[in-house]
Structure 1
Amino acid sequence: MEHFYLSTNAYSGSISCSTLRLQALFHRYPLSMLVDAGSQPLLREDFTEKSPQAFEMSTPARKRLMRDFKRLQQDPPAGISGAPQDNNIMLWNAVIFGPDDTPWDGGTFKLTLQFTEDYPNKPPTVRFVSRMFHPNIYADGSICLDILQNQWSPIYDVAAILTSIQSLLCDPNPNSPANSEAARMFSENKREYNRRVREIVEQSWTAD
């Protein structure tokens, strides 16, 4: 089972769909500096000593992912964080916090990103691990988002992917539904849609 570690002071600052790159999210250590190390979190600064094979610079994709990771450490966008899994820089864990002043406010949503050696020429496979109710998210957690499909460009990095998904939470496209029930409810009964989203938010607090 994969683990996601958060600082006890993890959530600070205001996040909105229109202002996604604010001050750093975490007070001391961002999630991107932590990695599953069995029963205890391990500071990412020690990661190369514990699992050097994950940071081998043998391919363009791995080199690019290392640059993406360094950017996330140095300038983490508000409300998102991500890091490679131990021993595998091609598979990442990520967390997105629901934007403030939206039905998603306060939610903590986990994702995985699976990269191939074709990255950044091809996008990763991104899925929510957390249960979701959203017009553009399938039952298996995969995401209907143009930049992960036909609008992908090599200029997008991990931070851009995660901030785009965060924006999608509160700005869905019901005309391209992955969840027809959520899309119909979003268009026809916003009050009930928001109630269902709040249920998902509350479930995210206790999900393993």
Structure 2
Amino acid sequence: MGQPRRSKPFQRFDVISDDSDHFYRDSSLPIPATTQKKIMKEWKLLEQHLPQSITVRAYEKRVGLLRAAIAGASDTPYHDGLYFFDISFTPHYPTQPPQVHYRSFGYRINPNLYVNGNVCLSLLNTWPGKRKSETWNPKESTVLQVLLSIQALVLNERPYYNEPGFGSFKPGSSGEKKSFAYNEEAFVLSCNSMLHLIKTPPRGFEALVAWHFRDRACPILQACEAYAHGRVRVGYFRDGTPQQAPSSRVAVPKKFKESIESLYPRLYKAFSKEGASLAGLSEELSLDEATAPVKGTKGLVVNVVSTVKKFFGLK
């Protein structure tokens, strides 16, 4: 069986004082009293309804700022990663949506998340969307909806199709092969992001970063091994689930295999320093076993976004 996930040893929503490394610290405008009252309602909503996979911190002296950490969902190439977003309310909130900046560490891990930190999302009015109902609605939209949308609709199981004009998923199509390749690249970049987070955690989230990677160290390293050996496609690994049989192995591109082989010992060392229990795992990744392509391999899982559906009524 896999390693059971422990509950967080701290609150999902809290108020802290240190905003010194917040992206919008020096650019946010003063918030009038009427807007502050509306922001307080957002605080209450976050405090009551945040899922376990999202952590938010507000700032006692800067009401207009928030910071959120979103854990990548299982059955996606972002599983077990931790992704940070700095948020700033405008003085006219909620007439205007909040500003959101992704802490990228220089990596483009998703078509909607840019290296410069821009977040492309219809709910933020940074993308027109297919329907008007997808854009920001001052009477109904909330920061909680924004965070849930990023987790479920941006950091999803097939991010390749987030790119405009790339169509939708069709088994056996050329797009499917490109989607598999994109997932491999996204996982590699996500692992690199983990190393940066452990080395320089955002202020106010040091305990969360340390706890998260102690808790998820084994599944991350096990996934690296499974992906590098072609036992399962990237995004379909679940700790505790039996590996695919050798006859069902998938082809592993040389570049991806070399990237994982390089990342694995660095991740192992970083997780060890955080105090993770890595019994039974080797310090180096052995890739002596041959990998073979699979004919007719099917995607196994579609990520569930029921939480977002409750807010948006999405089909």
1:56-75 to 2 correspondence within 5 Å? 59-75=33-49
Query: Any gaps of 5 or more consecutive residues in structure 2?
Result: 20-30, 129-134, 167-173, 201-315
Between the aligned partners of 2:195 and 2:55, the Cα distance in structure 1 is 19
- Per-residue CA deviation, residues 55-88 of structure 1 (Å, 9 max, x unaligned), is xx95232112111112222221242122223411
Map 1:9-48 to 2 at 5 A. 12=5, 26-33=7-14, 35=16, 37=18
The CA deviation string for residues 175-207 of structure 1, in whole angstroms up to 9 with x for no partner, is: 169xxxxxxx97652232112111222123222
Shift of 1:100: 0.9
Cα deviation, 1:17-39, whole Å, max 9, x if unaligned, reads xxxxxxxxx5342242253559x
Say if 2:96 is the partner of 1:143: no
Matched-pair contact (CA < 8 Å) for 1:109–1:129: yes
Task: State the 1:90 CA deviation.
Answer: 0.7
Residues 72 and 159 of structure 1 are in contact (CA less than 8 Å); yes or no, is this contact kept in structure 2? yes
Matched, 1:164 2:153: no
From the two aligned structures, give the one with the greater strand fraction. 1
TM-score of the pair, normalised by structure 1 = 0.67
After TM superposition, give the deviation of residue 135 of structure 1 in Å: 1.2
**2-side partners of 1:186 and 1:59: how far apart?**
51
Q: Distance in 2 between matches of 1:120 and 1:176?
A: 31
Is contact 2:85–2:101 with CA below 8 Å preserved after alignment? yes
Query: Which residue in the other structure is 1:196 paired with?
Result: 185
**2:284 alignment counterpart:** none
Q: Distance in 2 between matches of 1:103 and 1:186?
A: 17
Against the structure 1 CA distance between its residues 62 and 176, is the aligned structure 2 distance closer, same or farther, given a 3 Å change threshold? Answer: farther
Q: Distance in 1 between matches of 2:175 and 2:183?
A: 8
The amino acid across from 2:151 in the alignment is Q
| Cα distance in 2, alignment partners of residues 163 and 29 from structure 1 | 20
The number of residues matched between the two structures is 162
Give the 3-state SS of the residue equivalent to 1:189 in structure 2: helix
Name 2:95's counterpart in structure 1. Answer: 121
CA 1:100/1:59 → structure 2, altered by over 3 Å: closer, same or farther?
A: same
| CA RMSD in angstroms, aligned pairs only | 2.9
Partners of 1:126 and 1:187 lie apart in 2 by 31
Give distance in 1, aligned partners of 2:164 and 2:98: 24
CA distance in 2, matches of 1:136, 1:142: 8
1:100 & 1:122 partners in 2: Cα distance? 33
* TM-score (structure 2 length as normaliser): 0.46
User: Who wins on radius of gyration, i.e. which is larger?
Assistant: 2
Q: Which runs of 4+ in 1 moved over 6 A?
A: none
C-alpha spacing 1:36/1:63, structure 2 compared with 1 (3 Å): same
Structure 2 counterparts to residues 100-111 of structure 1, below 5 A: 100-111=74-85
Aligned to 1:174: 163
Are the structure 2 counterparts of residues 37 and 135 from structure 1 closer, same or farther at C-alpha, using a change threshold of 3 Å?
Answer: closer
- Give secondary structure in 1 for the equivalent of 2:109: coil
1:206 to 190, 195, 198: 195
Structure 1 stretches lacking a partner, 5+ long: 1-10, 14-25, 39-56, 178-184
Q: For the Cα contact (< 8 Å) 2:12–2:55, is it kept in 1?
A: yes
Residues 31, 81 of structure 1: 8 Å contact kept: yes
